[in-house]
Amino acid sequence: MKPPAIIVLFSILVFEFAAVAQEPVAGAPAKKQLKVLVLEGDPRSRGLAHGKAMKEEIQKLLKLWKADLQSSLKMDADEFISSSSRRPTF
């Protein structure tokens, strides 16, 4: 079963924002170490462990992503996400 397009889009954006967030900035503090997670068990257990371990980072990226959507699309981010998750009628 293919994942919904919004999940794929979100995954791509997470990686893009993570890459941008790691670009060096003059006077910025040193980079943090990359967090490595070892996820074991069934898919649900792995997902829960990932969400708990990366909760703060996920929340920060969601905030950045929504702000970027708001800025670039000139519409409410939650409205865009809701409209994007509806099935096409073609």
Is 60:71 a contact under the CB 8 Å cutoff? Answer: no
Residue 60 is assigned to a structural domain of this protein: yes
Is 77:66 a contact under the CB 8 Å cutoff? Answer: yes
pLDDT number for residue 27: 65
Residue 67 is assigned to a structural domain of this protein: yes
Q: Which residue has the tokens 């924002």?
A: 17
Residue 71 is assigned to a structural domain of this protein: yes
Average pLDDT of each block of 10 consecutive residues along the chain (90 residues)? 54 58 59 83 93 93 90 86 72
Residue 36 is assigned to a structural domain of this protein: no
- pLDDT tens, residue by residue, 41-53: 999 999 999 999 9
Residue 76 is assigned to a structural domain of this protein: yes
pTM for the full predicted model: 0.54
Rounded Cα distance, 69 and 67, in Å: 5
Structural domain count of the chain: 1
Residue 1 is assigned to a structural domain of this protein: yes
Question: Helices (H), strands (E): how many in the chain?
Answer: 4, 0
pLDDT number for residue 69: 86
Residue 79 is assigned to a structural domain of this protein: yes
Q: Which domain holds residue 63?
A: 1-9+53-85
Residue 11 CB partners (closer than 8 Å, separation 6+): none
